[in-house]
C-alpha cells in the first residue's frame, strides 16, 4: 500500500486535469499565459478526479486543518477539509478577517502585499496542509507558511494544482516545508 506522499497522479488523471485547464494568452499582461482553473471547476469529472486524488494523498497525514490561500485555495481547501473531516482556515488578504490577526508581508513583481490569519486559527501544534491553485514565485505561499508557524502550528506540506517550476517558487518554499505540485509546468 502506498503512503500518502507516494501517491502521485496517474497519466490518465494528469491528462483529465490538464485538459480541463484553459490557457489564456497575454493575460493579465502581454507575454503571460494565464492558467485558468475556472474551466477545471466547471468540469465535474476533472474536479472529481482532482479532489479524489487529493483525498487519497492526504487521508493518512493525520491533519488537523487545511489552510487555503485567498481566494482559489478556498475552493480546493474547504472541499478537501470536508472530505478529510478536518477544519478549514482561510488565509486572507489584509483587512478581510474580522477578529484579531497576525500578518505577513511579501514581495510582488511591482510592490508589496500582505496576508493575514486569525491569531487563534489553529490549536497549538496543529498539523496543517497549506493549499492553493498555483505556485509561481512563491511569495504568497512563503508568507502563508510563515503565518502558520507563527500561530504555533506546523505546516506539514504545501499543495498546489499547478507549479510553475521555471519561476523557482517551489525551491524557495521547500526551505520551509515539503511541497507537492500535482502538475509542474516548465
Report, as residue numbers or ranges, the catalytic residues.
Answer: 72, 109
Distance of CA 102 to the CA centre of its chain: 19
Pairing of strands 87-93, 101-108: unpaired
Q: Please name the residue that has the C-alpha cell 510592490.
A: 111
C-alpha dihedral (41, 173, 86, 96), degrees to nearest 10: -70
Q: What is the distance between the alpha carbons of residues 97 and 111, in angstroms, rounded to a whole number?
A: 22
Q: How far is CA 161 from CA 85, 102, 125, in A?
A: 21, 27, 26
Residues with Cβ < 8 Å from 42, sequence gap 6 or more? none
Amino acid at each position: 500500500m502506498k503512503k500518502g506522499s507516494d501517491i502521485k497522479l496517474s497519466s490518465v488523471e494528469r491528462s483529465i486535469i490538464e485538459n480541463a485547464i484553459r490557457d489564456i494568452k497575454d493575460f493579465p499582461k502581454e507575454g503571460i499565459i494565464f492558467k485558468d482553473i475556472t474551466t477545471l471547476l466547471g468540469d465535474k469529472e476533472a474536479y472529481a478526479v482532482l479532489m479524489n486524488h487529493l483525498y487519497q494523498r492526504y487521508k493518512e497525514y493525520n491533519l488537523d486543518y487545511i489552510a487555503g490561500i485567498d481566494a482559489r485555495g478556498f475552493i480546493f481547501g474547504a472541499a478537501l477539509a470536508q472530505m478529510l473531516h478536518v477544519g478549514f482556515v482561510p488565509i486572507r488578504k489584509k483587512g478581510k478577517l474580522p477578529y484579531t490577526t497576525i500578518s505577513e508581508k511579501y514581495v510582488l513583481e511591482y510592490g508589496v502585499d500582505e496576508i493575514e490569519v486569525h491569531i487563534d486559527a489553529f490549536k497549538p501544534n496543529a498539523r496543517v496542509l497549506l493549499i492553493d491553485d498555483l505556485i509561481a514565485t512563491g511569495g504568497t505561499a512563503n508568507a502563508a507558511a510563515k503565518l502558520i508557524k507563527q500561530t504555533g502550528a506546523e505546516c506539514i506540506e504545501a499543495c498546489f494544482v499547478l507549479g510553475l517550476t521555471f519561476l523557482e517558487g517551489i525551491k524557495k518554499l521547500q526551505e520551509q516545508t515539503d511541497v507537492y505540485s500535482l502538475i509542474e509546468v516548465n
